Amino acid sequence: MNKKVILSGIQATGNLTLGNYLGAINNWKKMQEDYDCNYMIADLHTLTIRNNPDTLRNNTLDLLALYIAAGIDPEKSNIFIQSHVAAHAELAWILNCYTYMGELSRMTQFKDKSAKHADNINSGLFTYPVLMAADILLYQADLVPVGEDQKQHVELTRNIAERFNKIYGDTFKIPEPYIQGVAARVMGLQDPTSKMSKSSTIPNDSIFLNDEPDIILKKFKKAITDSENIVRFDKEKKPGISNLISIYSAITGEGKENIEKKFDGKGYGEFKVAVAECVIEELKPMQNKYKELKDNPDYLEKIYRRGAERAKEIAIKTLKDVYEKVGLVW
Ligand code: TYM
């Protein structure tokens, strides 16, 4: 029986947040039994902002260790580093020629990032979603498990693939975004109207996956709520407390109504501590395993080398088909 194919990735920018965990990695872990999973470390994408080269190298290996520590099993899923498979950059070039400037200008992430990095609006930042389309289409992925913020990029991927297929006949599988769970968009703890982000400059806004328990507790205690002091889900009127309910729900598996009942009459102070405690408990095994893996670079190297070999085998088939279809001598 052929399993459906999954492809997803995270940028190797360091400082992963609880948003990355609940919106992506935690769901990936659950999909390993039933799907043919490819999980990539997106190092090429990080070049759209300025990085210190040593830091990027460290972040890349850190992210690999974190995937494994979080429960992505290299015996079940293919884990690889994007730049190790040259086909990603090669297909991205071809797809650039089938993507319109207008489409890329409408990407909200491009608009946000160019506002944030006004001194470095490079063309990589602009064509970044095309590289992401290449990542996905090379593996003929059926599903792309991502958080809410990446949905627009997967939709663009579909449009590019459909356009290409229309001209050249069936070449790419049309992928679906797979956005799961109550925490597909974890919001900032200090600004619950914006997503929790690795690059937030607001202190205590993001929970980082390597935060110590006392820091996590402190951040949740300081989380912005409202003056009602009733644990009730209302995204519009109570974005702060609703975000905390979503986080608690994603981790414990309890429904929102259950949570409201459980904390009825208890007030925000107690609820915030409960949320912090469940996050601390959830992250603890991953944090411990991560430390062990970081001390074992040989093992990590074995995993990424093997991953690259497997990924290349799949990717080259799609790339070859594309090269032939567009008329390159191959
Ligand atoms: P990145 O690195 O920004 O984020 C990685 C994953 O984490 C999810 N995420 C969140 N989910 C819920 N709440 C949040 N606050 C939150 N913040 C981040 C993202 O939706 C994503 O799933 N371009 C991608 C990386 C990428 C990729 C790909 C993804 C490169 N190629 C191919 C899928 C398929 C990115 O920058 O994600």
Please compute the mean of the pLDDT values over residues 28-32 and round it to a whole number.
95
- The closest-lying atom of ligand 1 relative to the alpha carbon of residue 13 is 2
Give the residue range(s) of CATH 1.10.240.10 domains in the chain: 213-291
Q: Among the options 113, 219, 238, 272, which is catalytic? A: 113
CA dihedral 212, 213, 217, 222 (to 10 degrees): 0
Quick check: is 113 catalytic? yes
Q: Among the options 151, 173, 198, 289, which is catalytic? A: 198
Q: What is the pLDDT of residues 226-265, one digit of tens each?
A: 999 999 999 999 999 999 999 999 999 999 999 999 999 9
For the purposes of burial, counting CB atoms within 10 Å of the CB of 100, is it exposed (0-12), middle (13-18) or buried (19 or more)? Answer: exposed
Please compute the mean of the pLDDT values over residues 170-187 and round it to a whole number.
94
CA dihedral 315, 317, 321, 323 (to 10 degrees): 60
Measured distance CA(319)–CA(135) in Å, rounded: 11
Quick check: is 289 catalytic? no
63 close to ligand 1 (CB < 6 Angstrom): no
177 close to ligand 1 (CB < 6 Angstrom): no
Q: Which tokens sit at 58?
A: 């460290």
Measured distance CA(81)–CA(75) in Å, rounded: 16
Tell me what pLDDT residue 182 has: 85
9 close to ligand 1 (CB < 6 Angstrom): yes
Quick check: is 262 catalytic? no
Give the residue range(s) of CATH 3.40.50.620 domains in the chain: 5-179+297-326
| CB atoms inside a 10 Å sphere around CB 203 | 9
| pLDDT greater than 80 at residue 1 | no
- Is pTM, for the whole model, over 0.75? yes
Tell me what pLDDT residue 180 has: 87
Measured distance CA(280)–CA(215) in Å, rounded: 10
CATH class of residue range 213-291: mainly alpha
184 close to ligand 1 (CB < 6 Angstrom): yes
Please state, for a pLDDT cut of 70, what percent of the chain lies above it: 100
What are the residue ranges of helices labelled H in the chain? 18-20, 26-31, 53-69, 87-96, 101-105, 108-116, 123-138, 151-168, 213-221, 239-252, 256-262, 267-294, 297-326
CATH no. of 5-179+297-326: 3.40.50.620
Tell me what pLDDT residue 14 has: 85
Tell me what pLDDT residue 66 has: 96
